Amino acid sequence: MKSWRSRIAAGLAVCATAVALPLTVGSASAAAASDWRPVGGGYRTYLSCYEDALDYLKYNETGYTQFHCRPNGDTWDVWFR
Both 27 and 42 in one domain: the answer is: no
Both 45 and 75 in one domain: the answer is: yes
Q: How many domains does the chain have?
A: 2
Both 28 and 57 in one domain: the answer is: no
Asked if 69 contacts 49 with a C-beta cutoff of 8 angstroms, the reply is yes
22, pLDDT greater than 60 = no
Mean pLDDT confidence for 51-69: 90
pLDDT above 90: percentage of residues in the chain: 44
Nearest to 43 by CA among 7, 6, 76, 80: 76
Both 63 and 28 in one domain: the answer is: no
pLDDT at position 62 is: 83
20, pLDDT greater than 50 = yes
Range of the domain at 53: 36-81
pTM for this entry: 0.57
Both 40 and 15 in one domain: the answer is: no
Mean pLDDT confidence for 16-26: 49
Both 80 and 41 in one domain: the answer is: yes
